[in-house]
Amino acid sequence: MTASLSPDMFDAACPTTVMPFQIGDKWTAMVVLCLEGGPRRFTELRVPLRTVTPKVLSATLRSMERDGLITRFAYDENPPRVEYALTPLGRSLLTLVAAARTWCTDHLDDLLEARAAFAARD
Partner DNA sequence: CGGTATCCGAAAGGATACTG
Partner DNA sequence: CAGTATCCTTTCGGATACCG
Chosen from DNA, a copy of itself, none, partner binding at 107 (C-beta under 5 to 8 Å by type): a copy of itself
Distance CA 118, CA 83 (A): 47
C-alpha distances in Å from residue 71, one per residue of 41, 74, 79, 103, 109? 12, 10, 20, 29, 37
Q: How many residues bind DNA (CB under 7 A)?
A: 24
Q: How many residues bind a copy of itself (CB under 8 A)?
A: 28
Query: Segment 5-24, which members bind a copy of itself (CB under 8 A)?
Result: 20-24
What is the dihedral sign for C-alpha 48, 78, 59, 88? positive
Residue ranges that bind a copy of itself, judged by CB under 8 A: 20-25, 28, 65-69, 89, 92-93, 96, 99-100, 103, 106-107, 110-111, 113-115, 117-118
